[in-house]
Amino acid sequence: MNTSFWLMVFAQVLAASAQILLKKSAGNKHSSFIREYLNALVIGGYALLAVSMVIVIFCFEGLGYMGVVIMEPIAYILVMFLSRIIFNEKITARKIAGMLLILGGLVVFYAF
């Protein structure tokens, strides 16, 4: 596997972490409309998304368009596991089936 592949995985870890931060902020009560959008969790989440986006742009050179598009759903799998750990969300059979389909698509794309 080349460097761009692992860089893309790192970008997806950042994106998943950002989504967890944003979800955590959405579950909190805020004293005002401004504080709802200007708090550490939201700013940190959007900052991580921006860094992730910049990394993904650099990955286009090494992976190509299809390689990047195929790698994007890794964040969905990571969010599922992080939500289980942080928010105690249940992992249902449908979520597992979706995860297996995503992983199957990755295997098919990179194996052939």
* Per-residue model confidence (pLDDT) at position 111: 83
Q: Please answer whether residues 100 and 40 qualify as being in contact, where contact means their C-beta atoms are separated by less than 8 angstroms.
A: no
Is 90 exceeded by the pLDDT of residue 70? Answer: no
* Per-residue model confidence (pLDDT) at position 1: 63
Is 80 exceeded by the pLDDT of residue 92? Answer: yes
Is 90 exceeded by the pLDDT of residue 109? Answer: no
Question: Exposed, middle or buried: residue 65 (CB in 10 Å: 0-12, 13-18, 19+)?
Answer: exposed
The reply to whether the predicted model has a pTM over 0.85 is yes
CB atoms within 10 A of CB 68: 18
Instruction: For 10-64, write each residue's pLDDT tens digit.
Output: 999 999 999 999 999 999 898 898 988 899 999 999 999 999 999 999 999 999 9
Helix (H) or strand (E) holding 93: helix 93-111
Domain map (residue ranges) of the chain: 3-111
